[in-house]
Amino acid sequence: METRERLTVTNRILLANPSDSGEYALKMYPPSLERAALLSQIEHDEENGLDSAQNTYDEEKSKIEDEWKKGKERIRERLLESLEERRKKAREEMASDGALADVPTFDPPVPTRSSTRDRKPPPFTLAAPHPFGAAGEDMVSPFPLPLTSYAGGTGAWSAKGKRQKGVGAGSLQLGKAITALQGLKESEIEADLGEVKKAVKRKRGTRQVGQYRD
Three-state SS for 163?
Answer: strand
Q: What are phi and psi of 194, to 5 degrees?
A: -65, -40
Handedness of CA 21, 24, 26, 29 (dihedral sign): negative
**H or E element that contains 82:** helix 22-100
Place 156 in a pLDDT band, splitting at 50, 70 and 90.
very low
Q: What are phi and psi of 157, to 5 degrees?
A: -125, 145
Per-residue model confidence as pLDDT tens digits over 87-126 = 999 998 888 876 655 555 545 555 555 555 555 555 545 4
Average pLDDT over residues 39-44: 94
Residue 163, strand partner residues = 157
Cβ contact 10:23 at 8 Å: yes
Q: Tell me if 189 sits within 8 A of 99, measured CB to CB.
A: no
More confident residue, 52 or 15: 52
Query: For residue 6, what pLDDT band results from cuts at 50, 70 and 90?
Result: confident
**Cα-Cα-Cα-Cα dihedral sign, residues 92, 98, 100, 105:** positive
**Residue 41: per-residue pLDDT:** 94
Min mean pLDDT across 9-13, 81-85, 96-100 is at: 96-100
Please state whether the predicted TM-score (pTM) of the whole model is above 0.75: no
